[in-house]
Amino acid sequence: MSIYTDNGYENRVAYLLHLAQDNVIGLDIVLMLSDSLGPNEDFDGMVTEIEDYITNQCGGDLMKQAEAIKYARLLLEKEL
């Protein structure tokens, strides 16, 4: 068992793909962060860095963040 399977993911790659999809950011960003932070930060520092990245991309504007999340959820619903 691993921390990834304990949390419902097949492996680290599946977890990183989930982070990219769930946060609607490019896999390249997630991979860059994962390379910088290392696997020991996947469930802590990585999540914080992704949240910071999203906040910075929206200029700290909560309305823009809410709209981006709403739009992303609509896109995901269409794919399902």
Low-confidence ranges of the chain (pLDDT < 50): 80
pLDDT, tens digit, for every residue of 50-62? 988 887 776 656 6
Res 55: pLDDT: 79
Cα 53 to Cα 67: distance, rounded to the nearest angstrom: 16
Tell me if 47 sits within 8 A of 56, measured CB to CB.
no
Res 21: pLDDT: 87
Res 36: pLDDT: 92
Q: What is the pTM of this model?
A: 0.70
Res 15: pLDDT: 93
